[in-house]
């Protein structure tokens, strides 16, 4: 008997898939009712997704249930993209309090307010969050959450779907909603660790930002940002020059006091363009003067190396062999779009976590902590590893 189970079933009938996937997820629990269940569904009909979610909830008794629609689902050490399928993950969490919630956005006279978060959220050990990208300001919420609940990790992703705006669905305790965000606060001896693989490889030296305005980096180490970038790229091998030209990234050091900054020590953000008049680089985030940065490139090899190195590290419950179950929120730009097949991340998690039951989905944005603060990411894999290590 185990504490975790997962199942993935592809079927044109989402209810059939939901029933079979739920049965597979519950089987390892030996008849014990789960405390927490996640369900992810890929389908073209939102109403069919709703019925499938209702069926999962009905089969799971009194378990807290969460879920969302997706462009692809993960489970049973494989992934299904752009095809009708349901993935279910179930967990028994002894002596752990699970509090589910539904967040909505309310308009006030001066701004927008997010309502629905339990008042004692800061007492939790981890927050799991699934959000609708069209109706919920996930980036702003995560930023504010960092300030109100410092040190509390959030992990999850933005729901996706094959119909776009209005076509996404979220599940919370048997109720299906089409807006906002749903989640769970876990408190107790749950022992959950988060890992965010940003899939990049650093190039060139680390440099200090010596002049910047907003999200435009104007100088690096006293040289115009564009000239500095040209210097670095000119010294790269031909294949890395090609990678840099297709999608250059910049890594912002999270711990300025560390002596060495290598893979995993940076918050990765895209270089979105060039400010030609000022010879600056437009970055997808604010980079203040004085911060240390390093350019990065992303390809399948770098993403594979980064994921495996992080999952095999001691930060994961003291070692991957102690993982009993996992949730995987991976970008819809990964899978078959980045690797040779859609199963890559699912297989890597299975291999490095000794085939512990895992499930998840392909997200339109991933949420997870880097350097002790939570962020909304792109092209990443955000993983939650559950185990018994203290």
Q: How far apart are CA 99 and CA 86, in angstroms?
A: 24
Range list of H helices, the chain: 14-26, 46-59, 138-148, 225-234, 238-247, 300-311, 335-338, 344-352
What does the DSSP 8-state code read for residue 51?
H
Nearest CA-CA partner of 302 in 228, 385, 230, 240 = 240
How crowded is the C-beta side of 209, counted as CA atoms within 13 Å? 26
- The pTM assigned to this predicted structure is 0.94
How crowded is the C-beta side of 54, counted as CA atoms within 13 Å? 9
Q: Name the phi and psi angles at 262, rounded to 5.
A: -125, -165
Query: Residue 60 is encoded by which pair of tokens?
Result: 């799971």
372 close to 380: Cβ distance less than 8 angstroms:
no
Q: What is the pLDDT of residue 320?
A: 62
Where the chain has pLDDT below 50, the residues are 390
225 close to 319: Cβ distance less than 8 angstroms:
no
Q: How far apart are CA 326 and CA 38, in angstroms?
A: 11
Q: How far apart are CA 318 and CA 294, in angstroms?
A: 29
Q: What is the pLDDT of residue 29?
A: 97
Nearest CA-CA partner of 357 in 84, 27, 11 = 27
Query: Residue 89 is encoded by which pair of tokens?
Result: 């993950």
The residues facing 195 across adjacent strands are 383
Q: How far apart are CA 60 and CA 96, in angstroms?
A: 18
Radius of gyration of the chain from Cα atoms?
Answer: 21
Q: What is the pLDDT of residue 109?
A: 73
Give per-residue pLDDT as tens, 300-351: 999 999 999 999 887 676 666 689 999 999 999 999 999 989 999 999 999 9
Q: What is the pLDDT of residue 390?
A: 45
322 close to 251: Cβ distance less than 8 angstroms:
no
The residues facing 273 across adjacent strands are 282
Q: Name the phi and psi angles at 248, rounded to 5.
A: -70, 140
Strand, helix or coil for residue 321 = helix
Query: Residue 358 is encoded by which pair of tokens?
Result: 């895992």
Q: What is the pLDDT of residue 128?
A: 98
Query: Residue 306 is encoded by which pair of tokens?
Result: 């980064």
Pairing of strands 358-363, 72-75: antiparallel
Q: How far apart are CA 66 and CA 340, in angstroms?
A: 30
The dihedral of CA 223, 229, 233, 234: what is its sign? Answer: negative
């Amino acid at each position: 008997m185990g504490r975790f189970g997962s199942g993935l079933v592809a079927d044109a009938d989402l209810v059939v898939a939901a029933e079979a996937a739920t049965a597979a997820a519950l089987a390892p629990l030996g008849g014990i009712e789960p405390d927490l269940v996640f369900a992810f569904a890929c389908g073209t009909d939102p109403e069919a997704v709703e019925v499938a979610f209702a069926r999962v909830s009905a089969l799971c008794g009194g378990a807290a249930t969460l879920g969302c629609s997706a462009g692809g689902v993960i489970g049973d050490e494989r992934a299904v993209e752009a095809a009708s399928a349901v993935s279910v993950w179930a967990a028994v969490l002894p002596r752990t309090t699970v509090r589910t919630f539904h967040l909505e956005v309310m308009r006030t006279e001066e701004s927008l307010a997010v309502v629905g978060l339990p008042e004692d959220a800061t007492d939790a050990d981890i927050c799991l969050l699934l959000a609708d990208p069209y109706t919920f300001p996930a980036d702003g919420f995560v930023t504010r959450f960092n300030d109100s609940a410092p040190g509390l990790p959030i992990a999850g992703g933005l729901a996706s779907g094959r119909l776009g705006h209005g076509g996404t669905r979220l599940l919370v305790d048997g109720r299906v909603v089409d807006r906002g965000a749903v989640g769970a606060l876990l408190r107790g001896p749950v022992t959950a660790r988060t890992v965010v693989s940003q899939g990049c490889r650093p190039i060139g030296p680390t440099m200090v930002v010596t002049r910047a305005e907003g999200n435009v980096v104007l100088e690096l180490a006293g040289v115009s940002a564009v000239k500095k970038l040209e210097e670095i790229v000119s010294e790269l091998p031909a294949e890395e020059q090609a990678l840099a030209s297709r999608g250059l990234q910049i890594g912002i050091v999270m711990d300025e006091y560390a002596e060495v900054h290598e893979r995993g020590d940076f918050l990765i953000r895209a270089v979105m363009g060039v400010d030609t008049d000022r010879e600056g680089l437009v970055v997808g985030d604010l980079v203040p003067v004085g911060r240390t940065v390093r350019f990065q490139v992303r390809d399948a090899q770098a993403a594979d190396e980064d994921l495996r190195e992080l999952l095999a590290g001691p930060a994961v419950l003291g070692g991957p062999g102690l993982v009993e179950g996992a949730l995987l929120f991976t970008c819809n730009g990964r899978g078959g779009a980045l690797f040779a097949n859609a199963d890559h991340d699912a297989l890597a998690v299975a291999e490095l976590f000794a085939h512990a039951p895992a499930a998840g989905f392909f997200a339109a944005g991933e949420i997870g902590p880097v350097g002790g603060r939570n962020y909304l990411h792109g092209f990443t894999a955000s993983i939650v590893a559950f185990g018994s290590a203290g």
